[in-house]
Amino acid sequence: MNVKVTVVRDILEANERLAAENRALFDRHEVRVVNLMSAPGAGKTTLLEKTVAALSGELRIGVIEGDIQTSLDAERIERAGARAVQINTDGACHLDANMVAAAVSKLELPALDLLVIENVGNLVCPAEFKVGEHAKAMILSLAEGDDKPLKYPLMFKESRVLLINKMDLQPHVNSDPARIEQAARQINPAIEIFRVSCKTGEGLEGWYGWLRAL
């Protein structure tokens, strides 16, 4: 058991060092970086498409896409008008600082104001690994249920922003956004919460304003 604990600690410490190097690089180029996390299907890529369309006249946006396989999401982001780099983890359930460093080398950081790292869809591992970001943000689909903050507290603890997405489904699901907010704030009193619908556009201005102020 002690050997396992030591290995995990060494992995996390090595990742922390690389994340600090990434962060220093982003700061030198004055690029603000958001690590965007969620379960699969919560709406990360759709949110980014909407964000690129809304802010492209104000912010120069780049995206790093993390997926186990395919480049489908990166292709969607490029069609929306932003530069995108795909990372395929081939089974790993999260991005780490080394993966992000390799992807960043394919971007022109001086040409960016904002970089969004769309992490692999997972409510556990992405919250444990820093990648050099200035802030973690997460999306929770209303359809996932209002028990998720209690089941996956670390994700909510580590995130500065929570977007409760798919509010247009509220009449059709047995999930209470007020319960989500209450539980999230018990875990992280400072978390900012926006109720949004990427389908209708509801609430997205609050998210855009947060990005502008980052």
For the domain 2-213, what is the CATH code? 3.40.50.300
What was the pLDDT predicted at 100?
98
Q: How many whole angstroms separate alpha carbon 114 and alpha carbon 34?
A: 8
What was the pLDDT predicted at 11?
73
Instruction: Give the SS3 label for residue 41.
Output: coil
Give the sheet arrangement for strand 83-88, strand by strand: 83-88, 61-67, 114-118, 32-38, 135-141, 161-165, 192-195
What was the pLDDT predicted at 4?
54
State the pTM of this model.
0.93
Instruction: For the chain of 214 residues, list the mean pLDDT of each consecutive stretch of 10.
Output: 57 91 98 98 98 96 96 96 95 95 96 98 95 98 97 98 98 97 98 98 98 97
What was the pLDDT predicted at 12?
79
